[in-house]
Amino acid sequence: MASNQAEQLHPEPIAGALIFDSRGKIFLTKSHKWHDKYVIPGGHIELGERAVDALRREIKEETGLEICLLSHTPRG
C-alpha cells in the first residue's frame, strides 16, 4: 500500500470482517499501522486469492483466530 493515500493510483482489493460474540459485541483489533486505533480485522487480497480465503488468512495473521464464515456480503 502507498505510504500516502493520495499517492495510490488504483484501488486495491481488501477483505474485512465484522466479528460478533454471542452477546452481539463486536471484535476489534488494535492496529499499529493505523496509529494504535481499533479496527476490524482484514487486509489486502493477494493476486489470484479468493476474498474469503484472504479474510481467513488476514484474521489468522492478525489475531491467531480461525474463523467459521457464517455470512458473506461482497461489496464493491
Which tens digit of pLDDT belongs to each residue from 25-68? 999 999 988 899 999 999 999 999 998 899 999 999 999 988 87
What CATH number is associated with residue 42? 3.90.79.10
Domain range spanning residue 50? 14-76
Work out the number of other CB atoms within 10 angstroms of the CB of residue 55.
22
Report if residue 50 sits inside a domain. Answer: yes
The pLDDT of residue 76 is above 70: no
CA distance 24 to 4: 35
At 4 the pLDDT is: 58
Domain total in the chain: 1
At 23 the pLDDT is: 94
Mean pLDDT computed over 12-35: 90
The alpha carbon dihedral of 57, 28, 73, 4 has a sign of negative
The pLDDT of residue 70 is above 70: no
The pLDDT of residue 5 is above 70: no
